[in-house]
A and B are shown apart, each in its own frame.
Chain A
Amino acid sequence: MAHRETFYEVMRQHGITRRSFLKFCSLTAAGLGMGPEFAMKIAHALETKPRTPVIWLHGLECTCCTESFIRSGHPLASDVILSMISLDYDDTLMAAAGHQAEELLEQTIEKYDGNYILAVEGNPPLNEDGMYCIQGGQPFVEKLRHMADHCKAIIAWGSCASWGCVQAARPNPTRATPVHKVIRNKPIVKVPGCPPIAEVMTGVITYMIAFDALPELDRQGRPKMFYSQRLHDKCYRRPHFDAGQFVERFDDEGARKGYCLYKVGCKGPTTYNACSTLEWNDGLSWPVKSGHGCLGCAEDDFWDKGSFYSAVTNMKVMGSAEADADKVGKVLAGAAAIGVAAHAAASVVSHMSDKSRKEVRHD
């Protein structure tokens, strides 16, 4: 086989200096929470390993993942990574279009069968044989299956690919379906968030191409290095939570003092993401820092979990009735109390009537 170029060679061809390359490696190591010695490991891997192509598909989605990605806090990181991956196929970013573009897919399969990474943004709708998302005259779900068959591993970008997100919210008319429910025979790395944080995306993809391995995943298939803790575990407002100091309304004294946002619906205590540590836009801010609760965008079905302004969810309990589980509970407990009172009264009455009739002596 002909010489397969390394990542490093590709980057140099794209005008990235060695100095920038090394900076990129240390930034990435730091972003992944690894020690400085890993910078050199990453550099070494990128210098010596043949380049792993990345195919980036788009199903039903809003492109917020791509938008987040290309706005990575470190322009260097996105430059470097884009130069590494946009070579192959990404219908939003690549220069090619039309048949020419679709041909690239077949060429990749031919050249790198079983050796490329498939990054999927969005998800396939399955109703009507997938007709709700057509690309190049073909349902997206077929394109996805075809490309998945020949890939090495899949990255499910964002909450759409990972969980379904807004297009899969009830009643989900197109039956939009997350990737892991369609593709079952390939390893899948879920990178949820709507969108995911840019540094998380660049970190995951660099890890996978540099080390030629999946990052360590949690029980639900998310990389542990970014998704092993809830926002609440690292939130800078947590001392106010523990103290019992809450924003009760968005315009109250507590809001001005930066109290905890739990009572106005913050989902930080139930959301696994890196917002409270990495923050957004190069560490500029994140929702809680700007005074609004977390919506829980990185969690499964976050659109269907009741109000964004209540931290206790109300959800479909039975059939189609929307009911607050907590209210159901209160009604049940209340009904039990009333039932008990009524039964007690009936007992007294029946006891007295028994007595007056002298029918039974032994109650």
Chain B
Amino acid sequence: MILSETKPFAEILTSLENDDKVFLLGCKGCAEASKTGGLQQVKEMKEKLEAEGKEVTGSTAVDFLCQKALVRSRLTPLKEKVLAADSVLVMSCGIGVQASAASISRVCRPACNTIPLGDSRGEWPSRERCRECGDCVLDFTGGICPLTKCSKSLLNGACGGASDGRCEVTPEKPCGWELIYYRLKGLGQLDRLKVYIQPKNFAKMEIPENVIPSTLYDIEFTEDGRAK
């Protein structure tokens, strides 16, 4: 799930300044769940834009805008309406906008901001996050990630700014290093905290180009001509 929020309407209007005719494209995946790009929001956006004097040439919501093959097949029957527009306003996360822009020969403008969820998550909702740092240090920190649980991503211990166990940067959350302390204490492993951890090798956080297609669905392999 990717979380998005609708941009302020004034910002959307500014981006559509020179477009009299607009096609609206929503997404029935995460954007519908975020209440930013489901059919309901598409309908509301249509009314708001028409009230501003825009002509909406057509609108739809695709199951998953992140899937370029779906974008193309679903829009084929609506081709004329899409091409009649000066631009397509895409009501989804940034991936949906990028996939639409890669699939449609019209300017695609984002109607939403994608909200950070704090690094990679498991497939099931949980509080654990991983920054995919390429050199895991969980062995030294009782299985709690200091990169994602500490707001400053400190590797060698707390900053000293925690107040009553709350993080100095984000008081809504507990200090990650205090969590690590109690975890290790419970395990009788406090000595782990004395191990010096080298600065991160950020080169390991660059995304290897060859893994990008391997994370796509099969159908996309075919589309990109990269089937295994």
Question: Do A and B belong to a common assembly?
Answer: no
